[in-house]
Amino acid sequence: MRTKLVLLSIAGVFAITTLYAAAKYSAEANEYSCEGFTSVTGGSGERDHGRLRIEHYAFWVALWNATSDGNATFQSTKFSFYEGDMREIGEGNFTIYVGTSSGRKFSFKRAINELAIDYGQMNFIGNCIAAI
């Protein structure tokens, strides 16, 4: 009986530790400071600046979420944008993050730090640098 209790305790601690690690280390976030132009369809662009946050999921997240590699959030002085179905193409500094959910288009090219967002009538295009 005592052996069963010890084994059950060890299994419980292992399960809790595994769940904690999976929750805490399931995503890596990178933030960027962006400068560019925001325009309304048919209008000229106005200077704008904002912050971009890319959250990339760890490989094991694909076990329960095979449709997305992460998410992206952009907030500027003109508008806010969220892409919850982001795909990653390539690797390292040559990674391109793209998203096309609900008629919106999102693209961030790490090699040249270019961000392009088509959010209905609002569009942003600019360059981003890693935020400190």
pLDDT digits (tens, 9 = 90+) for 27-71: 789 999 999 999 987 778 899 999 999 999 888 877 777 788 999
The three state secondary structure string of 36-85 is EEEEECCCCCEEEEEEEEEEEECHHHHHCCCCCCEEEEEEECCCEEEEEE
Q: Is residue 116 situated within a structural domain? A: yes
Whether residue 4 lies inside any domain: the answer is: no
Total domains, the chain: 1
Within 13 Å, how many C-alpha atoms sit on residue 54's CB side? 26
**Is residue 118 within 8 Å of residue 104, measured between CB atoms?**
yes
Q: Per the domain annotation, does 2 fall within a domain?
A: no
Examine residue 17 and state whether it is found in any structural domain, yes or no: no
Domain contains 42: yes
Whole-prediction pTM value? 0.77
Residue 125: the pLDDT is: 95
Domain membership flag for residue 19:
no
